[in-house]
Amino acid sequence: MIRVDQIKCVPEQVTMPDGSMNEALLIQKTAALLRIQPNEVRALFIRRRSIDARKKPQIFYIFSVDIVVTEEHEAQILKKNRNANCRQSPWVSYEFPYMGKCGQSMQSRPVIAGMGPAGLFCAYELALHGYRPVLLERGKAVEERTEDVLRFWEEGILKPDSNVQFGEGGAGTFSDGKLNTLIKDKDGRCAEVLRIFCMHGADREICYDHKPHIGTDALVSIVRNMRNAILEHGGEIHFGTKLNGLHMTDRKVTDISVVSDGKERSMPCGAVVLAVGHSARDTLQMLYEADIPMEAKAFAVGLRVEHPQALINKSQYGTAKEGMLGAAAYKLTARTKSGRGVYTFCMCPGGYVVNASSESGMLAVNGMSYSGRDGKNANSAVIVTVDPKDYGDGSPLSGIVFQRDLEHKAYKIGNGSIPIERYGDYKAEVCGRNRDTGEDGDVRGKEYCADLVEDSAGGEWEPCIKGSYTYAKVSEILPKELAEAFVEGMEAFGEKIPGYNDDRTLVEGVESRTSSPVRILRDETLACPAAVNLFPCGEGAGYAGGIVSAAMDGVRVAEAVARKIDFFSGM
């Protein structure tokens, strides 16, 4: 195949009425760039689509495609088009390197703790290739879990093991379903993850969009379909079942203790995958007490901010209207004078801020979008980096203590509801200055934004939130240094997106579950040094930071588990 980059198309011309891409037009444009006839292109595969908004409001799609021509013709085309936009395709097709025997005994079956993206994809690959995995999920199946989450948002009734953090699909199920990752895909695992998503109900666009997303509503059915595929291939799933202990002999886990319906029992295993997620604090405590080696790691905490989506569209597209491009997204980074990083995280176009709590007396927020991204507001976490020297006491679990302290403050300040504060008030409290005097520098307030977003210029900006909320002093949640870094970042972001630091911007807290504050150590075989068949995996173990990176790590660990089981079985 031949890879061709930088194919520029007007969105209205290349998009069909059903939202699919006009492949005939792409073939014509590609052929013109290569100076060949369209009928010489036997097949075309879209590999990437991004938005070029440098000349807004004139917007273009930029495509990278692979084309198939005859073998003799391919060499001629490559020779005739020696430039950076035409080359041999670097596409890598993923293949799972092992194949197990379906008749394994229960003692040799791998057990996977956790059904977030890491555990789900690890189990899927193992099941597909004959290893009959056993999955443990402390929460409920995604259908029941959804009901519990909606009830919590509507009535405030929190179920500790069935909420935004716990249950089939993991924390990512109640998010925007963003699928972008910075991990290089030299082995084809990212493409494999996206392909599996598509096989089970995701739109084909996720395989080539620069910033792909699925949406919470679509993720629910996709997760259910993957579960059914695992069961069909010999997998076994235990909901409402929590990993409670490891039993080891000669650096090998022989069986595990699990708790379900309040009763503890033993379960044999050939390998154990720890895909417990970043909020399984009690499980991490159990592993720490069992002398499983781990360390505190850097992560980030902050607050979630909301703006009218029209303001973001105006900045990114040059017009407040979305059109067929959909709600605009953004990604912003800054560095404070003290050298601390501030950046946006989990940006949700047309989305909602949600109560993502999982422990009684504590409150954490997250962002969520449905597949249509048609909410009136955009929201994003604005987070500040922290590391063990900011919170550490020498314990690998000190980051969890730090998170809980912030979440307890947020719960107390909001009296159990999500606390909200206007950015103008937040900044005045944190900086100790009077916003009306102008002593705090360049304030971009209502007048500044009036010509940017006509529909949102008058009156206050209203929140889009799932769960109860109340106006309170969010400025009291973060430690002083982090609160000041948040303000410094917001002011820097206002230089990049006019109106971002408007007085009316909604600030909500606390965003504490950005990633795991703990890393469970593993060696070059991906096994834990304490046990040759114990595999830390995914975001909760400290090896991922989002749906795709967690799923990719799950695929990688599945390979390691299969290799280890094959070795022990003498296969």
Does pLDDT of 444 surpass 50?
A: no
pLDDT tens-digit map of 72-120: 889 889 988 888 789 998 888 899 987 765 545 656 799 999 999 999 9
What six digits make up the tokens of 358?
């999982």
Beta bridge partners of 283: none
Of 263, 236, 246, whose CA–CA distance to 136 is shortest? 236
Residue 452 pLDDT level (bands cut at 50, 70, 90):
very low
> Three-state SS across 111-147?
EEECCCHHHHHHHHHHHHCCCCCEEEECCCCHHHHHH
pLDDT at 195 over 80: yes
Instruction: Give the closest residue to 122 by CA, choosing from 540, 567, 569, 510.
Output: 540
User: Phi/psi zone of residue 493: left (φ > 0), alpha (ψ -120 to 50 degrees), beta?
Assistant: alpha
Instruction: Name which of 348, 357, 364 is nearest 511 in CA terms.
Output: 364
Is the model's pLDDT at 279 over the cut of 60?
A: yes
> Which bin fits 262, alpha (ψ -120 to 50), beta or left (φ > 0)?
left
Looking at the chain, the whole-number percentage of residues with pLDDT higher than 70 is 93
From the CB of residue 550, how many other CB atoms can be counted at a distance below 10 Å?
31
Instruction: Note the Cα 405 to chain centre separation in Å.
Output: 24
Q: How many C-beta neighbours within 10 Å does residue 10 have?
A: 12
Query: What's the confidence (pLDDT) of residue 105?
Result: 60
Three-state DSSP class for 244?
strand
Helices within 9-93 (DSSP H only): 11-14, 23-34, 71-80
Name residue 253's beta-bridge partners: 248
Question: CA of 54: how far to CAs of 99, 115, 315, 317, 318, in Å?
Answer: 49, 41, 11, 9, 10
Instruction: Please give the pLDDT value at position 179.
Output: 83
pLDDT number for residue 447: 45
The confidence score (pLDDT) of residue 80 equals: 87
Strands 333-335 and 465-466: unpaired
Task: Check: CB of residue 538 under 8 Å from CB of residue 113.
Answer: no
CA pair distance 272, 244, nearest whole angstrom: 13
Higher pLDDT, 20 or 537: 537
**Three-class secondary structure of residue 533 per DSSP:** coil
Q: Given a cut of 70, is residue 457 above it in pLDDT? A: no
CA dihedral of 98, 104, 105, 107, whole degrees rounded to 10: 0
| Tokens found for residue 231 | 């069961």
Q: Cα separation of 437 and 460, whole Å?
A: 21
- In angstroms, how far is CA 534 from the centroid of its own chain? 25
Q: Is the per-residue pLDDT at 391 higher than 70?
A: yes
Report the alpha-carbon angle 29-30-36, nearest 5.
105
Average pLDDT of the chain to the nearest whole number: 90
What are 538's two structure tokens?
């995914």
Residue 509 CA to residue 512 CA, distance in Å, equals 8
Residue from 336, 312, 302 nearest 489 by CA:
336
**Bond preceding residue 463 cis, omega within 30 of 0:** no
pLDDT of residue 369 exceeding 80: yes
Query: Could you tell me which residues come within 8 angstroms of residue 28 by beta carbon, excluding any fewer than 6 positions away?
Result: 38
DSSP SS3 for 158? coil
Neighbours of 68 (CB within 10 A): 14
Nearest to residue 3, comparing CAs of 45, 51, 52, 50? 45
**For 341-364, what is the mean pLDDT?**
96
Residue 507's CB: how many other CB atoms inside 10 A?
A: 24
Q: Is 365 in contact with 511 (CB distance < 8 Å)?
A: yes
Asked if residues 321 and 313 have their Cβ atoms less than 8 Å apart, the reply is yes
* C-alpha–C-alpha distance, residues 504 and 131, integer Å: 55
- Digit-coded pLDDT (tens) for 470-515: 999 999 999 999 999 999 999 999 999 999 999 999 999 999 999 9
pLDDT per residue over 121-161, tens digit each?
A: 999 999 999 999 999 999 999 999 999 999 999 999 999 99
**Quick one: which of 242, 452, 281, 426 has its CA closest to 364?**
281
Per DSSP, 460 falls in state: P
- Cis check for the bond before 384: say yes or no (omega within 30 of 0): no
Q: How many helices, marked H, and strands, marked E, lie in the chain?
A: 15, 24
What is the C-alpha to C-alpha distance for residues 134 and 536, in angstroms, rounded to an integer?
16
Residue pointed to by tokens 């909020």? 279
Residue range 255-265: average pLDDT? Answer: 95
